[in-house]
Structure 1
């Protein structure tokens, strides 16, 4: 099911003035008072364009960012643009997301680090070891169309920059009503356990940092297409930190992470201040939606749903 952006807004003017093409508004941003939030209505208010002039593709500054990003991802799996989002805008977005926690999904289960491959593995094998995943998740349809976070997600120069960074011929914003745009909110004791991603890349922006904990820990390229390297994975589960990188991602950082071959987690958050991260979903195929089995799982975590085991 794709987002329906075709609804017409009733107006007393039968022939409203045509909007100049240069002032056209992305349909995903049309909502409420002309699609405008109370603050941070424009990209210059949200993004540090002096430092990251993505609106000037082909410029020396953007080409340098692309070269740096490609080289970094090749050996490190994580490329960050520090301070991409202005602190005031990040704070506004974080408050907007936190206000939606009462209606958000509440994850609180132990699960394996791998997607199922349909095989039966012996107890104790890395594929059977489970880790705690606990946090709130605000879904796409719970984030207002006039949110500055959505405005950033729908900003065309960002999509094009990320496409070029990844070297994709095509690159589309997801149309999933649940997960095209989402956010994670982690409070005291919340964590993302050790895992590999089922997709090849994740794009995120940090909106709020916790007092302590919430570190992004990862072992770059621990496995390959030809070698799952289960012994090394088991060693990480047992506490071995050889080759592990522990990063404190800061407010405003835009992060590109290749987690399909890189084992990673977010360490438990400590303290009253929450960790808030926005997540942007793109795909090389237009009209992308997430599979219904996964969406059904998300629905079970919504307030009022039947309780699940370990929740």
Structure 2
């Protein structure tokens, strides 16, 4: 099978210009303008869902499982800060990521990612002039794998633009929760603290279904995945885009998420497109 059978091109004609494509882009832009998040329901066909699920299961043993306590910025504790500072609020994290180098070019996940027009469609939805694939060989396109009891606590993304594709849901739990644009322009520690202590009124709860494509500005919106229940694992593919070419993850964060680093992570350490602390 090919990517043209995995993507519902009748509903989402990403590879051809015309009023139907324009209408899809307009809806996505409106949602992104409202709160930094757009969901394209049923982006994958049933065959696409089945193929990506099978591929994820075939490499599930390659996932890096980690259990730790992290803050929203993936930084170490700083005792010089007040105890209630959000940088000093740490939460249990139990999750797994299947690194990008486990997905072969001819596999369904990369076929979807490499389908003609996919990147340009995402760029047009985001309306970003500076738009590049994440150059990290462990993280440009990955699968997040979560099992019962797992989740991902509140955090900000390193990448400016994150595109996720729901593949398989757990039996219960796993809702996506986010505080839109909470640090657009500055760190906004006071509002971040409210989210962390459960007093914020800015949190949106989103339930994604297999086959849904999500565009999300996670660099600026604090977000988490609620804990899961049941025996069935949750699989979500993550496609990452950034504002500058050649960007890769930091050494510390790459080690945390994938359990290993490559020479490129050390060679490009400290190269960022902005001044945020993570």
State the 1:118 CA deviation.
10
Q: In the TM superposition, what is the alpha-carbon distance from 1:237 to its structure 2 partner?
A: 2.2
Distance (Å, rounded) in 2 between the aligned partners of 1:271 and 1:117: 32
TM-superposed CA distance for 1:101, in Å, is 2.1
Q: How does 1:34-183 map to 2 (within 5 A)?
A: 40=1, 42-57=2-17, 59-116=18-75, 120-183=80-143
The 1:299/1:202 distance shift into structure 2, 3 A limit, reads: closer
Q: CA deviation at 1:169?
A: 2.6
Shift of 1:86: 1.1
Question: Counterparts of 1:189 and 1:129 in 2: how far apart (Å)?
Answer: 20
296 and 223 in structure 1: CA distance in 2 versus 1, 3 angstrom threshold:
closer
Shift of 1:122: 2.0
The range that moved more, 191-200 or 262-271, is 191-200
- CA distance in 2 between counterparts of 1:236 and 1:134 reads 20
TM-aligned CA deviation for residue 146 of structure 1: 1.6
Structure 1 Cα separation of the partners of residues 72 and 198 of structure 2: 15
Q: CA deviation at 1:128?
A: 0.8
Gaps of 5+ in 2: 262-278
Residue 232 of structure 2 corresponds to which residue in structure 1?
Answer: 273
Within 1, Cα distance between the matches of 2:130 and 2:57? 33
Among 258, 266, 283, the residue aligned to 2:242: 283
Cα offset for 1:301? Answer: 6.6
The farther-off stretch of 183-192 and 162-171 is: 162-171
> Where do residues 22-41 of structure 1 align in structure 2 (5 Å cutoff)?
40=1
Deviations 1:187-240 (A, max 9, x none): 00000101122332211100001111000011222233246051x332322223
* Contact residue 135 and residue 246 of structure 2 kept, 8 A: yes
Structure 1 segments, 4+ long, off by >6 Å, are none
Per the alignment, residue 193 of structure 2 pairs with: 234
1:104 is displaced (CA, Å) by: 1.6
CA 282–243 in structure 1, closer or farther in 2 if over 3 Å, else same: closer
Name the residue aligned to 2:222.
263
The structure 2 residue matched to 1:249, chosen from 205, 208, 221, is 208
| TM-score normalised by the chain length of structure 2 | 0.85
Structure 1 unaligned segments of length 5 or more: list them.
1-39, 303-311
* Higher gyration radius (CA): 1
Q: Do the aligned partners of residues 64 and 117 (structure 1) sit closer, same or farther apart at CA in structure 2, a change above 3 Å counting?
A: farther
Q: Retained in 2: the 8 A contact 1:98–1:185?
A: no
Per-residue deviation, residues 88-135 of structure 1 (Å, max 9, x unmatched) = 311221221122222221121110012549974222311110122211
SS for the counterpart of 1:127 is: helix
TM-score (norm 1): 0.77
Aligned-residue Cα RMSD (Å) equals 2.3
Asked if the contact 2:56/2:143 (under 8 Å) is kept, the reply is yes
For 2:265, the equivalent position in structure 1 comes to none
1:72 offset after TM fit, Å?
A: 1.1
Deviation per CA, 1:63-91: give whole Å up to 9, x if none.
12222212211122210100001123112
